[in-house]
Amino acid sequence: AQSVTQPDIHITVSEGASLELRCNYSYGATPYLFWYVQSPGQGLQLLLKYFSGDTLVQGIKGFEAEFKRSQSSFNLRKPSVHWSDAAEYFCAVVKEYGNKLVFGAGTILRVKS
Amino acid sequence: DAGVTQSPTHLIKTRGQQVTLRCSPKSGHDTVSWYQQALGQGPQFIFQYYEEEERQRGNFPDRFSGHQFPNYSSELNVNALLLGDSALYLCASSSKIRDIFNEQFFGPGTRLTVL
């Protein structure tokens, strides 16, 4: 069965500092991978997705993620965090595009000024 | 272009009651998926509807049921509510093109509180 692990429950970074959120997945083949962001009381917004090809994918709001097959990881990065990035971030995997998403438990990002 | 809409925004029920949540998909989408997000957890897949039929189901009891209407909108019904059903219920819509389901777009969710 597919599973997603986000090892960090909370992360605090200073505004302007770089960010990396970790995600590890368990799946036999190359899955479709996603990062979503959720602001308090809101639904999920897709930041970026990986299907195949270039292992470094660019998303919205200046985010990027790198797929590393050897490490079964899909970590999310941003070079310079803004206070508005404070939210909860979810990594998700799907076996077939559009099929049911399997989410990690999420990482809450706090940004200090 | 309206995105995915859900109603109501918030709902309070008592144990044993029944509840119906509603979802209207994004324009042009024909597939609706429902997810339950308990506090402090990631969303968990409940089921997916396409062509008015349940196509996939997650690990949820039969108390959870759904329906899809000809206009592609959908309802989620939960019977005999338990305290543990308190959660944010998210609806996601997508389209099926050439036998491939495409990206899911999420609504803002319905916050259900069971007392």
Give the mean model confidence (pLDDT) for residues B34-62.
94
Q: Which two tokens stand for residue A98?
A: 């559009």
Mean pLDDT of chain A: 91
pLDDT of residue B63: 98
Mean pLDDT of chain B: 93
Rounded to 5°, angle at Cα B83 from B9 and A4: 75
DSSP-based three-state secondary structure for A61? helix
Summarised one tens digit per residue, pLDDT across range A40-87 is 878 899 999 998 888 899 999 999 999 999 999 999 999 999 999 999
Radius of gyration of chain B measured on its C-alpha atoms: 13
Please state, in angstroms and rounded to a whole number, the distance separating the CA atoms of residues B14 and B62: 19
Residues of B in contact with A99 (CB under 8 A): 56, 101
Summarised one tens digit per residue, pLDDT across range B50-97 is 999 999 899 999 999 999 999 999 999 999 999 999 999 999 998 877
Residues of A in contact with B35 (CB under 8 A): 101
pLDDT of residue A37: 97
Tokens 């970590």 correspond to A75
pLDDT of residue A32: 87
Show the domains of chain B with their CATH numbers. 5-110 (2.60.40.10)
Return the percentage of chain B with pLDDT > 90, whole number.
84
Residue of B nearest to A46 (CA): B105
Please state, in angstroms and rounded to a whole number, the distance separating the CA atoms of residues B114 and A63: 37
Give the mean model confidence (pLDDT) for residues B21-41.
94
pLDDT of residue B53: 94
Q: Residue B91, by phi and psi: left (phi above 0), alpha (psi -120 to 50) or beta?
A: beta
DSSP-based three-state secondary structure for A98? coil
Record: contact B44-A103, CB cut-off 8 A: yes
DSSP-based three-state secondary structure for A71? helix
Residue in B90, B100, B111 closest to A98 by CB: B100
Cα B78 to Cα A29, A30, B36, B60, B73, distances in angstroms: 35, 35, 12, 11, 17
Domain locations along chain A: 3-112
Please state, in angstroms and rounded to a whole number, the distance separating the CA atoms of residues B75 and B41: 23
How close A24 comes to chain B (CA, Å)?
15
Q: How confident is the model at residue A97 (pLDDT cuts 50, 70, 90)?
A: low
How close B18 comes to chain A (CA, Å)?
23
Q: What residues of chain A, 49 to 78, have a C-beta less than 8 Å from chain B?
A: 49
Identify which has the larger pLDDT, B100 or B84.
B84
Record: contact A100-B48, CB cut-off 8 A: yes
Residue of B nearest to A5 (CA): B42
Q: CATH 2.102.10.10: does it fit domain A3-112?
A: no
Cα A88 to Cα A8, A16, B54, distances in angstroms: 11, 18, 30
